[in-house]
């Protein structure tokens, strides 16, 4: 209503500016006007309108709002009342501007996603996430416009400087002060070109972007494809479906107009129109190609600005007809932007955190999230998983299935081509991908594309990015897959798809032998890891169904059989005779997790009994893969992890080094908690997934070794629960410098539970002090099964700790047979307490005190008790190389009295590997063998071996 009142007021003001004579002339001319499609004013009504107010009302009643203004403007011009005509025209332009902005809001502010609910529209402002965009001038030689690498990174070679921009700064002056008039925004399918255009339109209406333009006209090139003839004025009118557009007034101020052509490649023009055939009149109707060429070559509206979004397929032809343009390339999401997108998608910080943590734990998925449509794909699937399970710990949507979802999304973007043509194209595409993987090749020349029959304009741009060759525009284009991981996906698909007759007859095609691929991976080609992982994902029953549904192709069942056989055989040569078969490669678990079929896991691992992994940084996704396989593995008896850290994905590390996020708030402008605030799953112990898997009902685990794995105190709570609930677990070995007294106390709670049947507990390098020995003593007095306790290298234990342990040894329920206290910095003061227990403890047969400075008095006290006929001791560990003569003689006499008693250095030489050694938090901050305070080595076990501590008697 406000618009109508303003129009009436403007018309009334103009009529009031006429003299009585001019007013009558205006009425006379008005009586002769005939407006097509409108009511004409009856003569009697016109005669009654004796003053400007009545005439203005009469015109409003009989004409539409726009028609009344047009009629008045036309009559004023006939009467040579140009000032009044100009004022009314300005009012009309303002009115049109208001209508157009309302139209833009309706068209661009909200949009519907493929997976959104019926009737649900999403806000661009709440969902849009800034993209990494680089801008640089482009040389007609083509050398400066480099291809985007397979990992989504720009090639910053020689040539004009590349700068990072945003959608907001595309038209800002460059370093030389030059303001771009033409910007070409380049990006592959799903990189966010159209979403960026939507964001531009919305922010222009809001007045926060491109305020230098009075009009921004967005033209969807897909809608133009079937237009034969058009003028520039027609293009403008298509952008706002309101009649009576003041095109002349709008187009006169060229500098205030920005044209956006979205998806230029959809037009498929060669753009080679001769310049003398181009138009200079924006109202002249010409063939569509001519009109567009006239805009591009600036023969019409030369001072207007252009923003063209396109895939790289149209770059060569565009480059031949544009002048002084800037090229901006969308590279995708940075690390910080990926996290922000997850928060904007979910609109719930807890869900976003859980989903982002899952994606970040899977390196492949996280890398693919660079591509905006892949981020959308992953978020869509994870949202469905969270709805079903409330968490993602057991998420079955592995990398292959998400890639299949992405492929199905691409299939929705294609035209209505023949399904058989699509199958042939995909088979050829997969062959190209596989050959590229074998040759370490990610860029393909145009002649290769044509030779394979892949030069199909409706399909090729969906899968490959087209780039100008570095050699220049005259040397053909080069092509690359949207991301290296997608090339690996299609390479895997090549090996599992059944051939059709045409491919079988192709003598030049790459040999399709799954065994060759698997053997090459085992031998030397570790770069094929992801291809092999996709291979396993594609032969799962679910993937086979999806392949048939999406592309109407069959997956070979023989490939599945070959892969099962390969997995069963690959670890056989590593295991020693007489030992259980070991799985020693983490990738085995990833292959099985990718397939995610319990029966296949059981068939593969049924012959194996041990896991032995060394020096691996286990990401969350690694732990998920390992845990999934353990839950299906009833024959697993021994788990050994040496130098393996359980990565908890501290997002602060990445965000500290990442590109700053675009804003401090999340979706909808609300403050968003930083990633370091964590969430419920992040607070769990690092080994939570492993311990939960080991507790599965069918587990027969007997031995668990976690050595130099950086275990924290919270890990001991998980281990305590495992001890309490796992009666088959007989041996637990923890070699780590971070457990501490608190961790040991937690372990002791589990050791005292009725369900615990542990027989051997080894705690090496655990930074124990006497403070936890009371708890250990309680375990010795209550555990009916514990036969061996090894606290070697607990240099904070001291004599006071031994005194407390002895209280447990004297308990009548103590079943301990072996006590190892080597290299615990013990002195002679503890020997009296130990000696007293040697006779009282009827089960203790082995006592290791190697590498402790007990002194002659201490050794004499021990020997006196060992002489007793009731002493059951059979093995005594001592460091004898520096003993005084008196002690040596006493030991010799003891040996003569009890010839079956073994006396010597007993410390084992179980040294961590180099990678684990670097992470081991040694007690005094000195490496083994490098010396410490008082010239005493930090870890004596590494400086002495049995050969240097032989008995002198």
**What are 861's two structure tokens?**
């006290």
- DSSP class of residue 258? E
8 Å CB contact between 203 and 108:
no
pLDDT reading at 155 higher than 50: no
Q: Is 506 helix (H, G, I), strand (E, B) or coil?
A: coil
pLDDT, mean of residues 339-358: 89
CA distance 502 to 431: 13
pLDDT of residue 363: 80
- For residues 933 and 591, the model is more confident at 591
Q: What is the model's pLDDT at position 21?
A: 86
Lowest mean per-residue pLDDT among 262-276, 422-436, 610-624, 929-943: 929-943
Query: Pairing between strand 645-646 and 617-618?
Result: parallel
Phi, psi (rounded to 5 degrees) for 733 = -120, 120
The confidence score (pLDDT) of residue 119 equals 43
Cβ–Cβ contacts within 10 Å for residue 570, how many?
18
pLDDT higher than threshold 50 for residue 872: yes
Cα maximum dimension of the chain: 145
Return phi, psi of residue 136, to 5°: -160, 150
What is the average per-residue pLDDT within 618-627?
Answer: 88
Say yes or no to pLDDT of 868 above 60: yes
**Of the candidate ranges 194-203, 280-289, 373-382, the one whose mean pLDDT is the lowest:** 373-382
Distance spanning both ends of the chain, measured CA to CA: 113
Q: φ, ψ for residue 599 (rounded to 5)? A: -65, -40
The closest alpha carbon to 426, from 314, 533, 550, 266, belongs to 550
Give residue-wise pLDDT tens across range 273-298: 666 688 999 999 999 889 999 999 99
- CA dist 369 and 132 (Å) reads 13
Mean pLDDT of 214-227: 86
pTM over 0.75: no
| Cα–Cα dist 660/400, whole Å | 31
Task: List, in order, residues 6 or more apart from 594 with CB less than 8 Å away.
Answer: 398, 399, 400, 533, 534, 536, 537, 540
Over residues 495-518, mean pLDDT? 74
In this structure, what token pair is assigned to residue 727? 């009666």
Q: 140-149, 246-255, 606-615 — which is least confidently predicted? A: 140-149
For 629-656, the pLDDT digits (tens) are 999 998 999 999 999 988 764 433 333 3
From CA 457, how far away is CA 474, in angstroms rounded?
20
Across the range 408-433, mean pLDDT stands at 79
Please tell me the predicted confidence (pLDDT) of residue 652.
Answer: 38
- For the stretch 389-415, pLDDT in tens is 656 665 656 688 888 888 887 776 665
The reported pLDDT for the residue numbered 433 is 94
**3-state class (DSSP) for residue 871:** coil
pLDDT at 84: 84
Give the per-residue pLDDT at 148. Answer: 36
Between 552 and 327, residue with greater pLDDT = 327
Residue 947 pLDDT > 60? no
Strand runs labelled E in 782-915: 788-790, 818-820, 846-848, 875-877, 902-904
pLDDT at res. 8: 67
Of 331, 320, 316, nearest to 469 by C-alpha is 316
Q: Which is higher by pLDDT, 580 or 140?
A: 580
Work out the pLDDT band at 624, boundaries 50, 70, 90. confident
Q: What is the pLDDT of residues 887-912, one digit of tens each?
A: 888 889 998 999 999 998 888 755 44
**Span 547-574, average pLDDT:** 84
pLDDT band for position 766 (cuts 50, 70, 90): confident
Neighbour count for residue 280 (Cβ, 10 Å): 11
pLDDT of residue 776: 94
Neighbours of 9 (CB within 10 A): 12
Question: Does the pLDDT value for residue 427 go beyond 60?
Answer: yes
**Distance between CA atoms of 883 and 885, rounded to whole angstroms?**
6
Decide which of 138 and 801 is more confident: 801
**Is 554 strand, coil or helix?**
coil
Tell me the residue ranges of DSSP E strands in 712-809: 731-735, 760-764, 788-790
For residue 817, pLDDT beyond 70? yes
- Whether residue 593 contacts residue 587, with contact meaning beta carbons closer than 8 Å, is answered with no
Residue 467, beta-bridge partner list: 478
- Average pLDDT of the residues in 834-858: 88
Mean pLDDT over the full length of the chain: 80
Angle between helices 855-866 and 885-897 (to 10 degrees): 10
Phi-psi region at 129: left, alpha or beta (left = phi > 0; alpha = psi -120 to 50): beta
Q: What is the pLDDT of residue 120?
A: 55
pLDDT at 941: 34
In tens, the pLDDT along 20-39 reads 888 888 888 888 887 776 66
Q: Residue 668: is its pLDDT beyond 70?
A: no
- pLDDT at position 343 is 93
CB 113 within 8 A of CB 122: yes
**Number of C-beta neighbours around residue 68 at 10 A:** 23
CA angle centred on 583, ends 577 and 589, rounded to 5°: 165
Are 768 and 740 within 8 A, CB to CB?
Answer: yes
Distance (Å, whole) CA 657 – CA 645: 22
- Structure tokens of 928? 């083994």
The mean per-residue pLDDT over the stretch 461-481 comes to: 71
Cα–Cα distance between 496 and 792 in angstroms, integer? 53
pLDDT digits (tens, 9 = 90+) for 231-270: 999 898 888 766 667 777 788 889 999 999 998 887 877 7
d(CA 928, CA 796): 17
User: In percent, how much of the chain has pLDDT > 70?
Assistant: 80
- Please say whether the beta carbons of 735 and 916 come within 8 A: no
Flag whether pLDDT at 804 surpasses 50. yes
User: Token digits for 568?
Assistant: 């069963």
CA-based radius of gyration for the chain: 40
**Is residue 914 pLDDT above 50, yes or no?**
no
């Amino acid at each position: 209503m406000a618009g109508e009142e303003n129009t009436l007021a403007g018309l009334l003001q103009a009529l009031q500016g006429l003299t009585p004579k001019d007013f009558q002339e205006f009425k006379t001319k008005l009586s002769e006007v005939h407006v097509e499609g409108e009511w004409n004013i009856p003569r009697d009504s016109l005669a009654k309108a004796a003053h400007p107010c009545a005439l203005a009302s009469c015109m409003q009643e009989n004409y539409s709002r726009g028609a009344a203004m047009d009629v008045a403007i036309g009559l004023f011009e006939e009467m040579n009342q140009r000032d009044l005509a100009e004022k009314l025209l300005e009012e009309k332009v303002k009115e049109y501007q208001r209508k157009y902005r309302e139209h833009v809001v309706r068209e661009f502010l909200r949009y519907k996603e493929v997976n959104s609910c019926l009737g649900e529209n999403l806000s661009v402002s709440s969902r849009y996430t800034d993209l990494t965009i680089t801008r640089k001038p482009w040389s007609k030689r083509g050398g400066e416009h480099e291809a985007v690498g397979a990992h989504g990174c720009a090639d910053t070679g020689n040539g004009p400087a590349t700068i990072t921009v945003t959608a907001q700064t595309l038209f800002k002056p460059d370093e030389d002060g030059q303001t771009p008039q033409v910007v070409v925004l380049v990006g592959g399918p799903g990189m966010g070109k159209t979403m960026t255009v939507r964001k531009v339109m919305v922010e222009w209406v809001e007045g926060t972007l491109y305020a230098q333009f009075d009009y921004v006209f967005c033209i969807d090139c897909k809608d133009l494809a079937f237009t034969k003839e058009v003028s520039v004025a027609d293009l403008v009118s298509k952008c706002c479906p309101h009649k009576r557009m003041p095109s002349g007034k709008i187009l006169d101020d060229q500098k205030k107009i920005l044209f956006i052509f979205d998806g230029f490649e959809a037009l498929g023009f060669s753009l080679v129109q001769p310049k003398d055939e181009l138009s200079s009149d924006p109202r002249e109707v010409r063939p569509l190609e001519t009109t567009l060429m006239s805009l591009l070559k600036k023969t019409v509206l030369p001072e207007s600005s252009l923003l063209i979004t396109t895939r790289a397929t149209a770059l060569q032809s565009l480059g031949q007809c544009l002048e002084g343009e800037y090229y901006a390339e969308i590279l995708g999401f940075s690390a910080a932007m990926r996290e922000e997108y997850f928060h904007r998608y979910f609109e719930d910080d807890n869900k976003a955190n859980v989903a982002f943590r899952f994606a970040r734990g899977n390196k492949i998925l996280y890398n693919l999230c660079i591509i905006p449509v892949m981020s959308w794909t992953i978020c869509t699937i994870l949202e469905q998983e969270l709805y079903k399970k409330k968490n993602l710990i057991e998420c079955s949507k592995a990398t292959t299935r998400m890639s299949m979802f992405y492929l199905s999304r691409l299939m929705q973007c294609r035209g209505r081509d023949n399904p058989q043509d699509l199958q042939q194209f995909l088979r050829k595409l997969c062959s190209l991908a596989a050959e590229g993987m074998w040759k370490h090749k990610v860029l393909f020349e145009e002649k290769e594309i044509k030779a394979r029959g892949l030069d199909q304009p409706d399909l090729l741009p969906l899968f490959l990015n087209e780039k100008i060759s570095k050699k220049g525009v005259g040397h053909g284009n080069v092509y690359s897959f949207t991301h290296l991981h997608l090339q690996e996906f299609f390479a895997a698909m090549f090996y599992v798809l059944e051939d059709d007759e045409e491919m079988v007859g192709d003598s030049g095609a790459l040999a399709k032998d799954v065994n060759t691929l698997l053997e090459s991976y085992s031998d030397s080609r570790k770069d094929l890891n992801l291809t092999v992982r996709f291979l396993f994902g594609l032969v799962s029953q679910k993937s086979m169904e999806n392949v048939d549904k999406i592309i109407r192709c069959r997956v070979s069942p023989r490939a599945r059989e070959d892969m099962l056989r390969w997995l069963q055989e690959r670890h056989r040569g590593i295991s020693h005779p007489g030992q259980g078969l070991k799985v020693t490669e983490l990738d085995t678990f990833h292959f099985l997790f990718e397939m995610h079929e319990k029966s296949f896991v059981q068939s593969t691992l049924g012959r194996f009994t041990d896991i032995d992994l060394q020096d691996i940084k286990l990401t969350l996704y690694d732990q998920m893969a390992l845990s999934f396989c353990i839950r299906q593995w009833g024959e697993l008896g021994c788990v050994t992890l040496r130098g393996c850290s359980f990565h908890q994905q501290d997002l602060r590390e990445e965000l500290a080094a990442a590109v700053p996020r675009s804003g401090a708030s999340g979706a909808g402008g609300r403050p968003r908690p930083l990633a370091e605030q964590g969430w419920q799953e992040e607070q769990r112990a690092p080994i939570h997934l492993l311990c939960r898997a080991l507790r599965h009902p069918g587990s027969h685990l007997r031995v668990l070794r976690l050595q130099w794995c950086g275990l924290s105190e919270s890990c001991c709570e998980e281990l305590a629960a495992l001890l309490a609930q796992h009666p088959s677990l007989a041996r637990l070995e923890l070699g780590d410098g971070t457990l501490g007294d608190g961790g040991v106390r937690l372990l002791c709670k589990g050791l005292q539970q009725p369900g615990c049947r542990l027989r051997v507990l080894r705690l090496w390098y655990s930074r124990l002090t006497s403070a936890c020995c009371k708890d250990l003593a309680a375990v010795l007095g209550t555990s009916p099964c514990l036969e061996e306790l090894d606290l070697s290298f607990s240099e904070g234990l001291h004599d006071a700790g031994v005194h407390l342990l002895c209280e447990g040894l004297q308990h009548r329920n103590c079943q301990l047979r072996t006590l190892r206290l080597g290299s615990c910095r013990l002195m002679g003061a503890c020997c009296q307490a130990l000696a007293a227990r040697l006779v009282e403890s009827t089960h203790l047969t082995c006592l290791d005190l190697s590498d402790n400075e007990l002194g002659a008095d201490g050794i004499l006290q021990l020997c006196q008790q060992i002489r007793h006929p009731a002493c059951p001791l059979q093995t005594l560990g001592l460091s004898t190389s520096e003993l005084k003569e008196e002690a040596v003689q006493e030991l010799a006499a003891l040996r003569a009295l009890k010839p079956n008693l073994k006396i010597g250095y007993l410390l084992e030489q179980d040294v961590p590997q180099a990678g684990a050694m670097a992470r081991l938090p040694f007690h005094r901050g000195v490496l083994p063998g490098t010396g410490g305070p008082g010239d005493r080595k930090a870890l004596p076990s590494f400086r002495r071996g049995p050969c240097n501590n032989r008995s002198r008697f």
